[in-house]
């Protein structure tokens, strides 16, 4: 009886390994609380399937929450987000890992490492916010982009995305505020200045549009002082690459 049970167990293990692979075996180890064994299986699976979202998601969660291997956790969360930037678990795991790494660096008084970790968290939020915006998940995108701004206030990209996001939501005043902040952070940013010209015109603020056009002309002289190939600026629409053309209807997201 025992010999038969052992034989059945061996056959089951072989079937799992041969038919469904190491992901199933790793899941069994997770259920048993054998985190080291599960992590080993996920790593072996990733050696042959480096972009497996399931394996990366599961492994990074184990490394962060069970094994306390934060460097490895951050690495695998980064790999997951490289292929799936809006993966909610990947975002949460990556933010958690880099936050703990920043805390560790702070304890060691390594200011450069702290800044690098915070910049990475900001990039995670920015990329996730961008992806959610592109899929019209505006509420989630807004929260993530605001987090990016909070962590890296000197980067105009998140300000610009928030400006376009509120433009799509028909919230022109808020859109202008974010474009103005982008222009404050980076006075030579052509996208920010052109977006402001467009928004000032749309909201009947012609004087501000003209003053901003002068700022844009100055910025272009600074940016391209010797070029004879600079074309005329199109200030009839926002220049962002993800601009949708027409706003969604009032009944849209």
Instruction: State the DSSP code for 18.
Output: I
Distance of CA 145 to the CA centre of its chain: 9
Q: What is the pLDDT of residue 102?
A: 97
Query: Distance between CA 125 and CA 19 in Å, rounded?
Result: 38
Whether residue 84 contacts residue 54, with contact meaning beta carbons closer than 8 Å, is answered with: no
Q: What is the pLDDT of residue 136?
A: 85
Q: Kindly give the parts of the chain with pLDDT less than 70.
A: 1-20, 228-231, 237-253
Instruction: State the DSSP code for 238.
Output: -
Q: What is the pLDDT of residue 14?
A: 44
Provide the 10 A C-beta neighbour count for residue 103. 13
Q: Domains of the chain (ranges plus CATH)?
A: 22-153 (1.25.40.10), 156-253 (1.25.40.10)
Whether residue 182 contacts residue 163, with contact meaning beta carbons closer than 8 Å, is answered with: yes
Cα–Cα–Cα angle for 135, 125, 109, rounded to 5 degrees: 175
> Which residues have C-beta within 8 Å of that of residue 224, sequence separation ≥ 6?
230
Query: Distance between CA 21 and CA 174 in Å, rounded?
Result: 51
Q: What is the pLDDT of residue 176?
A: 97
Q: What is the pLDDT of residue 63?
A: 96
Q: What is the pLDDT of residue 18?
A: 45
Q: What is the pLDDT of residue 236?
A: 74
Q: What is the pLDDT of residue 179?
A: 97
Token code pair at residue 20:
């469904």
Residues belonging to the chain:
253
Q: What is the pLDDT of residue 233?
A: 76
Q: What is the pLDDT of residue 235?
A: 76
Supply the pTM of this predicted model: 0.83
Q: What is the pLDDT of residue 6?
A: 44
């Amino acid at each position: 009886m025992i010999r038969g049970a052992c034989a059945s167990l061996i056959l089951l293990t072989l079937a799992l390994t041969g038919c469904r692979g190491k992901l199933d075996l790793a899941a069994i180890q997770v259920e048993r609380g054998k985190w080291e064994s599960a992590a080993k299986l996920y790593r072996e699976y990733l050696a042959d399937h480096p972009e497996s979202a399931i394996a990366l998601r599961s492994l990074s969660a184990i490394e962060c929450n069970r094994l306390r291997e934060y460097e490895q956790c951050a690495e695998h969360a980064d790999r997951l987000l490289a292929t799936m930037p809006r993966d909610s678990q990947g975002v949460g795991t990556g933010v958690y890992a880099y936050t703990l790494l920043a805390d560790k660096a702070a304890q060691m008084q390594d200011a450069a490492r702290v800044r690098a970790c915070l910049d990475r968290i900001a990039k995670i939020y920015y990329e996730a916010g961008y992806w959610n915006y592109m899929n019209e998940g505006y509420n989630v995108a807004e929260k993530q982009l605001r987090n990016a701004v909070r962590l890296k206030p000197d980067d105009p990209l998140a300000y610009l995305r928030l400006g376009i996001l509120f433009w799509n939501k028909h919230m022109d005043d808020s859109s202008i505020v974010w474009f103005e902040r982008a222009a404050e952070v980076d006075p030579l940013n052509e996208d920010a200045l052109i977006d402001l010209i467009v928004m000032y015109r749309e909201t009947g603020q012609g004087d501000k549009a003209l003053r901003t056009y002068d700022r844009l002309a100055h910025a272009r002289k600074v940016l391209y002082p010797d070029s004879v190939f600079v074309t005329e600026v199109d200030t009839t629409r926002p220049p962002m690459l993800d601009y949708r053309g027409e706003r969604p209807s009032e009944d849209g997201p």
